[in-house]
Structure 1
Amino acid sequence: MIPIVRSDEVTTALAEGAAIVALESTIITHGMPHPQNLEVARQVEADVRAKGAVPATIAVIDGTLHIGLNADQLEALSQAKGVAKLSRADMAACIATGGTGATTVAATMIAAHLAGIHVFATGGIGGVHRGAENSFDISADLMELAQTPVTVVAAGAKAILDVAKTLEVLETQGVPVIAVGQDMFPAFWSRGSKLKAPLRMDDPADIARAHRMRAALGLPGGQLVANPIPADAEIAAETLAPIIAQAQNDATRAGITGKSVTPYLLQRIFELTEGASLTANIALVRNNAQFAAQIAIELRDKG
């Protein structure tokens, strides 16, 4: 049996057929320092509730998969040390050995589907890293989107990635990529990129219908909903380009590889932007949580 616990709030929501939005936990453990991480986690959950849905922050704690965290658990996780960063490859091992781990996009999708939650809000998905033709560094998030039926709301792929190649892999894997409110694929900290999104839907009801239609057609996998950062919070792409390039060069010189690449780059960009990248990140995560709640409500009301 899977050691799984649903919070009281999530248990009630599932029993009543309420709208639920899954939330990842790596933003708490690997995204920012305490106490800011706790403040942001609480704010994102509050954003979901304010839109009429129930938040379910997901994490593995002492070998138990938690779907929704209570206030004490959220605070403890925000201060925990040595927390693993879990994806598809190591999630089961962490649970089996009694470990504690925060869920990435892929692991959160797996847990959400297991719990019967259909919508998940995050910051940005992982993807194809720059130089992947040599390193073969491609995030498991892309393959998870191809096989696990959860609609994921993100501000596109993280801007540190090779976004064009990321879109190519998503297309190959048959993942719908839906931009909201614009034709361009958003670039995480920036609203636009030079890349056109394959699909556009501005109404949460349309996105919910597309989610249900994939299930009706028997198609595997989820949807990526690319929701641009609010205009007043974005950092211009031309401002970020040289900063990202410097961070990439610094990572190469430092010999950073594997799972360590993304957190290193995000921290380096935070330093080079004097904190502006984190401020933008918080804004886009909150924006995604609010939009995800609207999709979840449409799925509930017309499911």
Structure 2
Amino acid sequence: MRSVISPASHRLAMSAEVADALADGVAVVALESTILSHGLPPGRNLDVGHRLERTVREGGAVPATIAVLDGQALIGLSRAQLERVCAPDADLDKLSLRDLGATMALGGSGATTVASTASLAHAAGIGVFGTGGLGGVHLPLPGTTTTWDVSADLGALARTPVLVVCSGMKSILDIPATLEVLETNSVPVLGYGTDDFPSFYLRSSGLPVPHRVDDPAQVAAVVSAHRRFADSGVLLANPVPREFEMDRALHDRLLAEGMELVASRDVHGADVTPVLLEHFHTASGGVSLDANEELVVSNVRLAAQVAVELAS
């Protein structure tokens, strides 16, 4: 697949399809790669990667899956590059925004998180990003009362004028504190077809959204108006499809077990979320994996619809 080196940086390469779409004013949707390399098991991750790109195209937009390979930030992956990201032996680093410079300068490879994907998408001129869930403020572990663990996703949204479509954040995070951080950083939070803020596997966290929108045109209108006077991003919270919502009793049991597991293993920092998610995936008998796949597909579909509205 032919790639186009961005004049802004010799380390930023767009696929020809993405470059042509941006040049022609065609809608483009950014997709992260961490969900593929770190969030889903081998085999299923590649199927989901293809499904997400196909969903964007069916919505009338061009997909731009983002990753860093051999020191180069790639905006839009070839089939071979996507297969490399999803390979069982890929051993890709998980790259947040702080890791991009060092990884690119030293010729490393890694999958991008929400923070780094949003930043690279903006650098390439892409304003809409569809993903699964947002990072946030971590809950204190059992036996502790405070935490300093706050996802870089929140800071990136505060500084990057990209619309992020997700299903809220996982309930393994402190959702009220996360929403407070977003408010402090002037990031508008919209609920799509809902008055309740979702919590990933569950359609409602029990907390309200500040603003409700009910169709892609309304979302595009809000984003356009916000961008006229602010440089922060916009968060569009789209609940998991009703038929794939996890049973709340099962969810609450797995969350309690997972938090105890993390405490017993003395897990800290960036290692907490992978351990908790692995427990959800294995102990739920695959229910959480199905919910994860379907909610990100739903979010990417909505992102494509909004991107088309913004492009028009």
Shorter-normalised TM range:
over 0.9
Whether 1:17 aligns to 2:25 is: yes
3-state DSSP of counterpart to 1:185: strand
The equivalent residue for 2:168 is: 156
C-alpha distance in structure 2 between counterparts of 1:66 and 1:286, whole Å: 22
Post-superposition offset of 1:2: 4.1
Whether 1:90 aligns to 2:96 is: no
Whether 1:134 aligns to 2:146 is: yes
C-alpha distance in structure 1 between counterparts of 2:166 and 2:176, whole Å: 16
C-alpha distance in structure 1 between counterparts of 2:94 and 2:10, whole Å: 19
The equivalent residue for 1:226 is: 237
Post-superposition offset of 1:236: 2.8
C-alpha distance in structure 2 between counterparts of 1:289 and 1:226, whole Å: 12
C-alpha distance in structure 2 between counterparts of 1:9 and 1:263, whole Å: 33
Post-superposition offset of 1:242: 1.8
C-alpha distance in structure 2 between counterparts of 1:134 and 1:82, whole Å: 32
C-alpha distance in structure 1 between counterparts of 2:212 and 2:188, whole Å: 10
The equivalent residue for 1:288 is: 299
Residue segments in structure 1 that go unaligned for 5+ positions in a row:
none
C-alpha distance in structure 2 between counterparts of 1:126 and 1:102, whole Å: 15
Whether 1:191 aligns to 2:199 is: no
The equivalent residue for 1:101 is: 110
C-alpha distance in structure 2 between counterparts of 1:226 and 1:194, whole Å: 14
Give the TM-score, by structure 1 length.
0.96
The equivalent residue for 1:43 is: 51
| Per-residue deviation, residues 17-70 of structure 1 (Å, max 9, x unmatched) | 110000000011101221111000000110110111110000000000000001
The equivalent residue for 1:176 is: 188
The equivalent residue for 1:73 is: 81
- Note the aligned Cα RMSD (angstroms): 1.2
| Per-residue deviation, residues 127-155 of structure 1 (Å, max 9, x unmatched) | 01101862301101111111100000000
Say whether the 8 Å CA contact 1:127–1:138 is kept in structure 2.
Answer: yes
For 1:275, give the aligned amino acid. G
| Per-residue deviation, residues 78-125 of structure 1 (Å, max 9, x unmatched) | 114321111111111100100001000000000000000000000000
The equivalent residue for 1:6 is: 14
| Per-residue deviation, residues 175-210 of structure 1 (Å, max 9, x unmatched) | 111001110001111111211111111121121122
C-alpha distance in structure 2 between counterparts of 1:233 and 1:33, whole Å: 19
Q: How many residues align?
A: 300
Residue segments in structure 2 that go unaligned for 5+ positions in a row:
1-8
3-state DSSP of counterpart to 2:67: strand
C-alpha distance in structure 1 between counterparts of 2:245 and 2:10, whole Å: 41
| Per-residue deviation, residues 151-183 of structure 1 (Å, max 9, x unmatched) | 000001122111111111111111111001110
The equivalent residue for 1:145 is: 157
3-state DSSP of counterpart to 1:224: strand
Say whether the 8 Å CA contact 1:109–1:120 is kept in structure 2.
Answer: yes
